[in-house]
Amino acid sequence: MAKEKTLEDLFYDTLKDIYFAERQILRALPKMARAAQSPDLKAGLEKHREQTEGHLERLQQVFELMGKRAQGKTCEAIQGIIAEGEEIMEEFKGTPALDAGLISAAQSVEHYEIARYGTLKTWAATLGLKDAVSLLDQTLQEETATDKILSQLATTAANQKAKAA
């Protein structure tokens, strides 16, 4: 008879998912930064790469709090989102619309992460993992701030540049 799954099992499974996702994002961000035309977008993507290293460190701490080894589980969702970003970089390379497309791709990543971290934070609270709640909330706040910065870059420059062409 199969073991009945619990919220702790779901939390651990989702933690492995976002750990894999963050590692994939860490590899994708330098490519996106190199492709960006706007110095502000390039700098923002480079800054977020540094933040992502911190996200991975916090996730490792959450694994430790659970007495588990930090490991990833293939996340097809993030692989698809990153593939879409790569497609945009290829199809819009050298065009005025490239940065708007890169921002869109980056925001798709951010929204996925915001959903994951929000859920994990809530589950950690339900499971009584107070230290995990704090770690996950720090990352959630950074992801939300990055999303806002991307929106500003889109509305103040990239979208108009793409439209004017």
- Give the side-chain half-sphere CA count within 13 A for 4: 1
- Segment 8-26 shows an average pLDDT of 97
Share of residues in the chain with pLDDT > 90 (%): 97
Q: What is the pLDDT of residue 31?
A: 96
**Sorting pLDDT into bands at 50, 70 and 90, what band is 20?**
very high
pTM: 0.94
**Sorting pLDDT into bands at 50, 70 and 90, what band is 165?**
low
